[in-house]
Amino acid sequence: MITLRPSQARGHVNFGWLDTKHSFSFGNYYDPDHMGFSHLRVINEDKIKQEKGFGPHGHRDMEIITYVLEGALQHQDSMGNISIIRPGDVQRMSAGTGIVHSEFNASKTDLVHLLQIWIFPNQKGLEPSYEEKHISSEQKQGKLRLVASRDGKDDSLKIHQDVELYATLLQEGDRVNYSINNRRSLWLQVAKGSVEINGKILNNGDGAAITKEPNIELIATSKDTEILLFDLA
């Protein structure tokens, strides 16, 4: 079963400095039918204006993944980490017992466009930690590249939950297949472009919950398509 989550059905708030869309309930956007999916709690698509951003604020007991699509995001946190992440960079924070961090657009001229993802951890009260990796376009082109996993296998980020996150870059006509364990589900998020999945078309910003399917075939229907795929217990 493939249940579509069209982009235009997401929560949408424009604060001027921040244009944000929520796949699941978040902040002032509340939809009891979309509170998350399996261990996924948040997928926010954020566009932040030049030199604007989120001042210091706290999190706890959440795995937070930031995936930059365009521009540069400046990060600073209470663990002492300071970095600027760009397309190809993926950041993971385990908030655990509590962290404070800030996020700002590092550019004076360009927007920063990103996906922020929250995943429930497998236990509360973990020691906060931080990790980031660069995954090149070549590593994602035409194939599913593991970005994050429970055990950090295949040079992926290590997250504290039974989730595998894959990313792929596809050109029009490219095909990728993925087999699904019958006890697991998938969430697919189109970050850019469009794709056909088992006969259904998903466009930029669309998502889909996938259950009780033995496998899926992704066929890019536009150039420069970028997709995130979550394999969830």
Q: Mind spelling out the 3-state secondary structure of 145-211?
A: EEEEECCCHHHCEECCCCEEEEEEEECCCCEEEEECCCCCEEEEEEEECCEEECCEEECCCCEEEEC
Full pLDDT tens readout for the chain, 233 residues: 999 999 999 999 999 999 999 999 999 999 999 999 999 999 999 999 999 999 999 999 999 999 999 999 999 999 999 999 999 999 999 999 999 999 999 999 999 999 999 999 999 999 999 999 999 999 999 999 999 999 999 999 999 999 999 999 999 999 999 999 988 999 999 999 999 999 999 999 999 999 999 999 999 999 999 999 999 99
The domain 138-232 is classified under which CATH number: 2.60.120.10, 3.40.718.10, 1.25.10.10, 2.40.50.100?
2.60.120.10
| pTM, entire model | 0.96
∠ at Cα 200 (204, 14), nearest 5°?
Answer: 25
Asked if domains 10-134 and 138-232 share a fold, the reply is yes
Q: Where along the chain do its domains lie?
A: 10-134, 138-232
Domain 10-134, architecture per CATH: Sandwich (2.60)
